[in-house]
Amino acid sequence: MIHHCDMRFPGGRDKALTFSYDDGVKGDIHLLELFEKYGVKGTFNLNSGRFRPESGEYPAKMNRRLSESEAVALFADAPEAEVACHTLTHGFLNRMDTAAAMYETVEDRRRLEKLFGRIVRGMAYPFGTYNDGVVEVLRMAGIDYCRVVKSSLGFEIPKDWLRLQATCHHNHPQLMELADKFLTPISHYGGPAKLFYVWGHAYEFDDNDNWDVMENFLEKMAGHEDIWYATNGEIYAYCKAYESLVWSADMSRVHNPSAQDIWVSQNDKLLCIPAGQSVEAPVDWSL
């Protein structure tokens, strides 16, 4: 009989790494090149009403933003990238009435879905500002997860996905210290899965002349067999599928109603519950 078990990521991995970058800027081009080089994935939060004009004159502050055609060329077919919302015009949602906040969210989502031919369910709050009313607007607008700017400095699996905290910004002074801590193996006796979540804006690397920060971090974090490299959306979908598992009263049998295989662990022993199937737990799991 299983007394408890811990979620594991695909393949039985006990760790996941993801990134979240905002605004849709030219620096995303090099950032995505680094993601491809090191085999990691991230989510790019775009303002569909703030793309740089394709031609003609425009304010100088728009110069570092991607044009619509550049964004489509960059993200549409990139397996390393998920596209998510950042509102239509990057406004302060907490200062808007409900109708305006809903329009900023839904219209951004609608335009991005049309541009990229995929369903968009993620987001990051512009300026990191929100309140309970804004969170409810996002829920009604079909947003499943939305990142704030406050850092957790931890690796916990999120519980409130519409107030999603990252581990840290890429400029945080403890970035590499946190990386070393994250890479420490989980105890033989098990424990919760760990998520390392980094956020920022790609233009900051140019402004601070510190692309080496990301390159050094990726060199350390890439290529580990026990880490799942995934987008925000992939991690959200997997965690929700895990939560949908249905256990028998004595925890001896489990059914997976989702469309993806789910892995669990007890005392360093792994069990895969295939999509749409029910399985019996190994008899030695409680030993």
Q: Is 114 helix (H, G, I), strand (E, B) or coil?
A: helix
- What is the pLDDT, as a whole number, of residue 207? 97
Give the pLDDT confidence score for residue 287 in this predicted structure. 44
Are the C-beta atoms of 43 and 20 separated by less than 8 Å? yes
pTM value?
0.95
The band of 189, judged by pLDDT with boundaries at 50, 70 and 90, is low
Q: Which residues contact residue 13 at a Cβ distance below 8 angstroms, ignoring those fewer than 6 apart?
A: 225, 226, 227, 228, 263
Distance CA 148, CA 127 (A): 9
pLDDT for position 25 = 98
What are the pLDDT digits (tens) for 40-54? Answer: 999 999 999 999 999
Lookup: tokens for 102: 């809903």
pLDDT tens for residues 258-287? 999 999 998 778 999 999 999 998 766 654
Q: What is the pLDDT of residue 267?
A: 75
Q: What is the arithmetic mean of pLDDT over 201-222?
A: 98
Handedness of CA 26, 27, 31, 36 (dihedral sign): positive
Chain Cα centroid distance, residue 146: 9
Q: What is the distance between the alpha carbons of residues 273 and 146, in angstroms, rounded to a whole number?
A: 28
Q: In DSSP terms, which residues pair with 247 in a beta bridge?
A: 254
Looking at residue 268, its pLDDT comes to 76
Q: How far apart are CA 48 and CA 109, in angstroms?
A: 8
Domains, the chain, with CATH or none: 13-242 (3.20.20.370)
Structure confidence by residue, pLDDT tens digits, 74-124: 999 999 999 999 999 999 999 999 999 999 999 999 999 999 999 999 999
Identify the pLDDT of residue 109: 98
